Amino acid sequence: MSLTRRHFLFLLPAAAVAWDALVAGTPEAAPNYNMTDHWWGLLIDVTKCIGCGTCVQACQAENLVPDGYYRTWVERYHVADWSIENPVVDSPDGGKHGFPASKNEGGKNFYVPKMCNHCADSPCTQVCPVGATFVSPDGVVLVDQKYCLGCRYCIQACPYGCRFLNPETNTASKCTLCYHRITKGLTTACCETCPTGTRQLVDLKNPNDPVHKFIETHSVQVLKPHLATKAKAFYYGLDGSVR
Amino acid sequence: MNGIPVEGFMYPNEIELQWSVLIVLYPFLTGLVAGAFILASLERVFRVEEVKPTYRLALLTALAFLLIAPLPLQLHLGHPERSLEMYLTPHTSSAMAMFGFVYMWYLMAVLVLEIWLDYRRDIVILSQTTTGLKRIFYRALTLGSSNISHEALAIDNKTGWIITIIGIPSAFLLHGYVGFIFGSVKANPWWSSPLMPVVFIFSAMVSGIAAVMLVYMFTCRARGEEINMRCVDTVAKYLFYAFLIDFTLEVLDLIHRIYEADESFRSLDFMVHTKLYLPHIVIQLLLGTLTPIILLGITQVLPLSATKRKLTYTIAGCLTLMGIFAMRWNVVIGGQLFSKSFLGYTTYKLRLIDREGLLVAIVLTLLPLFILWALIKLLPPWEDVKGEHLETAYGDD
Amino acid sequence: MANFKDAGHLLRMAAVFAVGIALFLVARSIFVPKSFGQYGHYRGAALAEVASKPVMFAGHGACEGCHTDVYDAKSKGVHAHVACEACHGPLAKHADDPTALQPPKMDVAVLCVRCHEAGLAKPKTFPQVVSAEHSGGVVCDTCHQPHSPRIGDATTASAEKPSGGSK
């Protein structure tokens, strides 16, 4: 009856992850996870973001992020006419509870989710004096909470403002790409809960990953490309005004 | 967030400043060390005899400030108990990690060694003439050797000379590295510049020379001794030269920024004219650089009486120290007041009573002076222990 | 060349330095964590520490097993690609032991407007309304079934109310 049906469905991970667009590849159990088989990144489709802030709330719930600090956040841009060098930007409480109504002044208006870009050539890991922050073999920039001194050099070195000092641990903290989830075949909390498919995890070592194929065949951008950080958060539909 | 007023837009995690006044204090203190040492090396290596009365005092000043310099860092760290990790597993790509070794090298292989060699004769004598705790202290410093024969002292002199030769580039490395810690951060256009280490070195020299000049004049007055005007005039002359170079470098940076006007320029320009107007334009540039340069320039050109010169040097010296502290403030705090999106500004909330507050900063600035006082008592810089003065007083007009 | 008799104190100082360096090397062998350097300049054990953090969101795959009727209704409607926990919150604890944690009741009025309140920056094709003018004060689920909210879409009878387990 339903008991066998429940077990049957549990035993078919492929059925459980029918939504290709949301999950990359076949989920693997944690003990079978081999770091060198993966090179993680993220695709953010700016054209789909509705600024609901669900991702910010989900991240906080999943990772116990203290109030007032943000592992991810959403910015709202207003670009008047052709003036892409002077956008008006706001991010009230990181966009966690959405955005208040804005006056209709024409121009372009859109939301941009932000997070750690998990740079392959990351300037933040370069400056850490003790090796407490590093790029993992599968491409995720992590902080060793037991080793970090709290000197804050990495926070200064990050061009994207994605790091902060966690006041509870007195160590540097930031988006971990939900490492504890992706190594178990789950997707990140923000990708999981995003209602419009704006955020999608991508495995850049998996040629069959549909998100990887998308990045290979469409125009995508990264933030601050002139700093050559080899950022792995790819944006689709990013306006030139985005900082 | 946290009630910190923000103008425009800042990335949410940028609103609270990461590096406080203690991180302003740290380059200020290490700058004094490097500058004091360069002044000492003027006599030792470049044979500028006139500044000999400040030689030992400069070394002791450098040591006093270098001993206190790690304290603001320890108070700033989230986990000071883990600070040994910087020596155990230093990340060679990190300027901060490598600086730990530069500091240790400079403290032990340059400063401590040079002071020990220069004072060894006095230490040995004091280890035999004092009693009680002091005797134990001096005996420990002798390392068990009481050889102060002419030959031994000649070896000390030669070795000390070599150490000073090594010490000059070491002093440049010491403070150049601090400049590089900021200058190598590509994320921050206020900091990122190849000029940063050079500007730091020369402003260090300016502050160190001014500090030793003031300490010398103050201690002479306190001891009721005549201030050696030939010495002070020469020190002031080198201060003036160092200042000219420092000023030139800062103006070069300014002109370059204004001319190229890259994407960060408008944001930084606005910041300097508003949030940093008092610390940058008024305190650093007008009062802390132009005024002392003009005052010192006047003493170089016009024949003034000794009294007038002493007063001018004192004012110029104090303004210099204030100006160089302001320069560190403008680099460290200024670099965090603007958003990396170039769309907004935040505010630095300096609390009075706090682990990184104003009171702590004041205490840490005064602490080296107490250490210096203790060092002067233990290792007198101006008296040969047999009672004969090392410096001879020159008459003044 | 230095006469050893007169340079004895230098040798003593050199010995002090040598002892210092030796102590440092001993400290290194004691205090540097064993897994340091395993994969790079960091503690290899840190990877496992980060990976062992507790999971709060079960993921959409975990819900279908028990809540098949809701899943069926949702997958036919316009909320097909909205994860269950996007609205219901983190429920990994509930998925592990359904009786241990009952999912909290949803405040429909707050939840729906979070996404569907009209906003200038929202994509034009995204369904959005000015909530104050839309329903005349009536709460959203009076007319819209949250699991398949488009009015007129076919919904199964058992999907009218969220079920509390397999039937």
Nearest to B324 by CA among B293, B359, B367: B293
**B159–C10: do the CB atoms touch at under 8 Å?**
yes
**A193–C85: do the CB atoms touch at under 8 Å?**
yes
Rounded average pLDDT over B150-179? 93
User: Which three-class secondary structure string do you get for A40-87?
Assistant: EEEEEEHHHCCCCCHHHHHHHHHHCCCCCCCCEEEEEEEECCCCCCCC
Question: What is the C-alpha to C-alpha distance for residues A155 and A166, in angstroms, rounded to an integer?
Answer: 11
Please say whether the beta carbons of A152 and A115 come within 8 A: no
- The residues pairing with A113 across neighbouring beta strands, listed in sequence order, are A74
Residue B4 belongs to a domain: no
The count of other CB atoms within 10 Å of the CB of residue A11 is: 10
Q: How many domains does chain B have?
A: 1
C82 pLDDT band (50/70/90 cuts)? Answer: very high
Unique residue bearing structure tokens 């900082």? A243
With the CA atoms of B72, B74, B78 and B80 taken in that order, what torsion angle do they form, in degrees rounded to the nearest 10? 180
**B143–C9: do the CB atoms touch at under 8 Å?**
yes
Across the interface, of A6, A63, A136, the residue whose CB is closest to C66 is A6
Q: What is the pLDDT of residues A212-225, one digit of tens each?
A: 999 999 999 999 99
Please say whether the beta carbons of B236 and B306 come within 8 A: no
Q: Inform me whether the pLDDT recorded for B397 exceeds 70.
A: no
Q: Inform me whether the pLDDT recorded for B259 exceeds 50.
A: yes
Q: Does B263 lie at the interface with C, CB-CB under 8 angstroms? A: no
Nearest to A191 by CA among C85, C99, B129, C91: C85
Which residues of B have a CB under 8 Å from any CB of A? Answer: 1-2, 9-14, 16, 18-19, 73, 76-80, 82-83, 85-86, 89-91, 93-97, 100, 181, 184-188, 263, 336, 339-343
Q: Does B83 lie at the interface with C, CB-CB under 8 angstroms? A: no
Count of CA atoms in the C-beta half-sphere (13 A) of B166:
15
Across the interface, of C5, C6, C28, the residue whose CB is closest to B88 is C28
Count of CA atoms in the C-beta half-sphere (13 A) of B300:
15
Structure tokens at B256: 């370059």
Neighbours of chain A (3+ CB pairs under 8 A): B, C
Question: What is the C-alpha to C-alpha distance for residues A83 and A91, in angstroms, rounded to an integer?
Answer: 20
Q: Inform me whether the pLDDT recorded for B392 exceeds 50.
A: no
- Average pLDDT of the residues of chain A: 90
Task: Report pLDDT for B43.
Answer: 87
Structure tokens at B42: 């003027």
Rounded average pLDDT over A183-196? 96
Q: Inform me whether the pLDDT recorded for B314 exceeds 90.
A: yes
Q: Inform me whether the pLDDT recorded for B384 exceeds 70.
A: no
- The three-class DSSP label of residue A234 is strand
Q: What is the pLDDT of residues A27-44, one digit of tens each?
A: 333 678 999 999 999 999
Q: Inform me whether the pLDDT recorded for A13 exceeds 90.
A: no
Share above pLDDT 90 across residues of chain B, in percent, rounded to a whole number: 90
Instruction: Tell me what ipTM this predicted complex has.
Output: 0.91
In sequence order, what are the residues at sequence separation of 6 or more whose Cβ sits closer than 8 angstroms to the Cβ of residue B324? Answer: B28, B31, B203, B204, B206, B207, B210, B288
Pick the residue of C34, C78, C115 with the most A CBs within 10 A to test the interface with A by mutation. C115
Rounded average pLDDT over C139-164? 71
B312 pLDDT band (50/70/90 cuts)? Answer: very high
Structure tokens at A164: 């902060």
Question: What is the C-alpha to C-alpha distance for residues C127 and C115, in angstroms, rounded to an integer?
Answer: 9
The count of other CB atoms within 10 Å of the CB of residue B325 is: 21
Question: What is the C-alpha to C-alpha distance for residues A30 and A36, in angstroms, rounded to an integer?
Answer: 14
Taking CA atoms, C104 is separated from A82, B187, C87, in Å, by: 47, 44, 11
Q: Inform me whether the pLDDT recorded for C3 exceeds 70.
A: no
> What's the pTM value of the predicted model, to 2 decimals?
0.90
C154 pLDDT band (50/70/90 cuts)? Answer: low
C103 pLDDT band (50/70/90 cuts)? Answer: confident
Task: Report pLDDT for B388.
Answer: 47
Q: Which residue has the higher pLDDT, C165 or C153?
A: C153
**How many residues are listed for chain C in this entry?**
167
Q: What is residue A95's DSSP assignment?
A: G
Task: Report pLDDT for A82.
Answer: 87
Task: Report pLDDT for B386.
Answer: 58
Q: Does A151 lie at the interface with B, CB-CB under 8 angstroms? A: yes
Question: What is the C-alpha to C-alpha distance for residues A107 and A75, in angstroms, rounded to an integer?
Answer: 16
Task: Report pLDDT for B2.
Answer: 65
**A5–C68: do the CB atoms touch at under 8 Å?**
yes
- The residues pairing with C36 across neighbouring beta strands, listed in sequence order, are C43
Q: What is the pLDDT of residues C132-141, one digit of tens each?
A: 899 888 999 8
Q: Does B151 lie at the interface with C, CB-CB under 8 angstroms? A: yes
Lowest mean pLDDT among A23-32, B160-169, B320-329, C28-37: A23-32
Contacts of A72 in chain B (CB under 8 A): none
Across the interface, of A134, A180, A197, the residue whose CB is closest to C81 is A197
A24 pLDDT band (50/70/90 cuts)? Answer: very low
Q: Does B81 lie at the interface with C, CB-CB under 8 angstroms? A: no
- Domain span including residue B105: 32-79+86-184+352-386
Q: What is the pLDDT of residues A42-64, one digit of tens each?
A: 999 999 999 999 999 999 999 99
Q: Inform me whether the pLDDT recorded for A208 exceeds 90.
A: yes
Across the interface, of A70, A157, A243, the residue whose CB is closest to B12 is A70
Residue B321 belongs to a domain: no
Residue B395 belongs to a domain: no
Contacts of A128 in chain B (CB under 8 A): 91, 94
For residue C84, the surrounding DSSP H or E stretch is helix C84-88
Residue B286 belongs to a domain: no
Question: What is the C-alpha to C-alpha distance for residues C56 and A182, in angstroms, rounded to an integer?
Answer: 13
Topology at the third CATH level for domain A22-236:
Alpha-Beta Plaits (3.30.70)
Q: Inform me whether the pLDDT recorded for B38 exceeds 90.
A: yes
Task: Report pLDDT for C104.
Answer: 86
Task: Report pLDDT for B119.
Answer: 94
The alpha carbon dihedral of C18, C20, C21, C26 has a sign of positive
Q: Does A111 lie at the interface with B, CB-CB under 8 angstroms? A: no
For residue C18, the surrounding DSSP H or E stretch is helix C8-31
User: Which three-class secondary structure string do you get for chain B?
Assistant: CCCCCCEECCCHHHCCCCCCHHHHHHHHHHHHHHHHHHHHHHHHCCCCHHHHHHHHHHHHHHHHHHHHCHHHHHHHCCCHHHCCHHHHCCCCCCHHHHHHHHHHHHHHHHHHHHHHHHHHHHHHHHHHHCCHHHHHHHHHHHCCCCCCCHHHHHHHHHHHHHHHHHHHHHHHHHHHHHHHHHHCCCCCCCCCCCHHHHHHHHHHHHHHHHHHHHHHHHHHHHHCCCCCHHHHHHHHHHHHHHHHHHHHHHHHHHHHHHHHCCCCHHHHHHHHHCCCHHHHHHHHHHHHHHHHHHHHHHHHHCCCCHHHHHHHHHHHHHHHHHHHHHHHHHHHCHHHHECCCCCEECCCCCCCCCCCCHHHHHHHHHHHHHHHHHHHHHCCCCECCCCCECCCCCCCC
Structure tokens at C15: 């010995």
Q: What is the pLDDT of residues A65-92, one digit of tens each?
A: 999 999 999 999 999 988 898 999 999 9
Contacts of A2 in chain C (CB under 8 A): 68, 166-167
Q: Inform me whether the pLDDT recorded for C160 exceeds 70.
A: no
A201 pLDDT band (50/70/90 cuts)? Answer: very high
Q: What is the DSSP string of A157-172?
A: H-TT---EEETTTTEE
Contacts of B84 in chain C (CB under 8 A): 27, 31
Residue B301 belongs to a domain: no
Q: Which residue has the higher pLDDT, B80 or A12?
A: B80
Question: What is the C-alpha to C-alpha distance for residues A199 and B308, in angstroms, rounded to an integer?
Answer: 72
Instruction: Give the chain C residue nearest A181 (alpha carbons).
Output: C55
